[in-house]
Amino acid sequence: MNVSAVPELAPPLRLLLGPGPSMVHPRVLRAMSTPLLGHLDPRFLEIMNEVQAQLRAVFRTENPFTIAVSGTGSAGMEAALVNLIEPGDAAIVVAAGVFGNRMAEIVGRCGGRLVKLDVPWGQVCELGRIEEALRKEGKVKVVAVVHAETSTGAQQPMEGLGKLCHAHGALLVVDTVTSLGGVPVEVDAWEADAVYSGTQKCLSCPPGLAPLTLSPRALDAVKARKTKVQSWYLDAGMVADYWAEGKRVYHHTAPISMVYALRESLRLVLEEGLEARFARHRRHSAALMAGVAALGCSPQAQEGHRLPSLNCVRAPAGVDEGAVRKALLNEHDIEIGGGLGPLAGQVWRIGLMGESSRQENVLAVLAALEQALA
């Protein structure tokens, strides 16, 4: 490659209806192109405070420790788990898809004693099964669940889970990467202890930050550790001193433009209002699901537990799902996702997240699918 002849960037204009990233509002793109501040500039420190307050509103929590981890959703997952799990600690992980399995992998890497509750992909885990595992295992440090399993389109019910965990002395870790800002997330009402997300799904911001909130109970567990957190970068104690108002001890250089972007995307979320936003996600998902059913697709996720943000449907029998996705991309500039793991070649994952959840996008993808299937 002649590197000096690499042309100016001009990516095609795609309609992003896959599992993420989602479409980004022009206001967010504009915020990213505003001039940088130094990361310890007094105005930037105020901006960090603003983002923390916005995140508390969206997470529906009073947790003082509510920050944006520098890194994608996986950094949020890793931050939650590496801080809470010490070698030998038991952790129950509900694995109902790719992301539950990723949590299980991280627990293993922390030296935790993994108790994996495997659930068929597309199903959710009954509270009774988690209770049984808690009873059987005795001392459990953490119970980890994925609220919105992007690989299957299933939404894990959260009612009663936090209380159950606390009654057994365990902490509750929740992945809300594909739900925050699109599906109700109620950190305090759930009594969840460590909840993380990503910016590129229902918040409609580019990927690059991982909102994370830790309850006082989780912070006590971090303080009570006998061993140092094995990750220097994600050590909650050190990151907390960086984000804590009045402290702001240098830890790492915040990704300034990403923080601007998140601030603007959260302004958009809160301007719309959470309830209105959730209703919009439900409305467009219902329309899409009705449309794809007419095209011969059936939902992958268990009835009553289907995510409005990520619509996972089985391709009609005999259809080459990969060829259809290719046609959508090449002929219509529409991106949708394929299946992962055991669902590869069988399902489409159509994301209607944040800015992508619009009536015109539902109509566009249905028309394109109809044409590709004709």
* Sheet containing strand 209-214, strands side by side: 66-70, 209-214, 194-196, 171-175, 142-146, 90-95, 113-118
Instruction: Report which residue type is found at 241.
Output: D
Say whether the peptide bond before residue 64 is cis (omega within 30 degrees of 0).
no
Which residue is closest to ligand PLP by CB? Answer: 73
The site that binds ligand PLP (CB under 6 A) totals a number of residues, namely 15
Distance (Å, whole) CA 90 – CA 171: 11
Q: Is residue 99 near ligand PLP by the rule CB under 6 A? A: yes
Instruction: Write down the least CB distance from residue 24 to ligand PLP, Å.
Output: 15
Which amino acid, one-letter code, is at 244? A
> What's the rounded Cα separation, in Å, for the pair 322 and 97?
20
CB of 230 to ligand PLP, least distance (A): 19
**Smallest separation (angstroms) from ligand PLP to the CB of 73:** 3
CA-based radius of gyration for the chain: 21
Nearer to ligand PLP among residue 171 and residue 177 (C-beta)? 177
177 interacts with ligand PLP by CB under 6 A: yes
Find all residues with CB under 8 Å of 98, minimum gap 6, and list them: 149, 150, 151, 340, 341
Cβ-Cβ contacts under 8 Å for 194 (sequence gap 6 or more) = 80, 83, 84, 171, 172, 173, 174, 212, 213, 214, 215, 218
Residue 211 binds to ligand PLP (criterion: CB under 6 A):
no
Residue 207 binds to ligand PLP (criterion: CB under 6 A):
yes
Cα–Cα distance, 317 to 329 (Å, whole number): 21
Using CB under 6 A as the binding rule, whether residue 72 contacts ligand PLP is answered as yes
Min dist. Cβ of residue 29 to ligand PLP (A): 19
CB contact at 8 A, 314 and 297: yes
Could you say which residues in the range 16-35 bind ligand PLP, by CB under 6 A? 19-20
Residues 109-148 that bind ligand PLP (CB under 6 A): 146, 148
Residue 175 vs 335, nearer CB to ligand PLP: 175
Q: Is residue 155 involved in binding ligand PLP (CB under 6 A)?
A: no
Q: Which residue among 47, 55, 77, 301 contacts ligand PLP (CB under 6 A)?
A: 77
x/- site string to ligand PLP, residues 220 to 249, per CB under 6 A? ------------------------------
* Residue 162 or 198 having the CB closest to ligand PLP: 198
Q: Examine residue 215 and tell whether it contacts ligand PLP (CB under 6 A).
A: no
- DSSP labels, 292-332: HHHTT-EESSPTT-B-SSEEEEEPPTT--HHHHHHHHHHHH
- Provide, rounded to whole angstroms, the least separation between the CB of residue 16 and ligand PLP: 13
Nearer to ligand PLP, 155 or 168 (CB): 155
Of the CA atoms within 13 Å of residue 208, those in its CB half-sphere come to 14
Residues that bind ligand PLP (CB under 6 A): 19-20, 72-74, 77, 99, 146, 148, 150, 175, 177-178, 198, 207
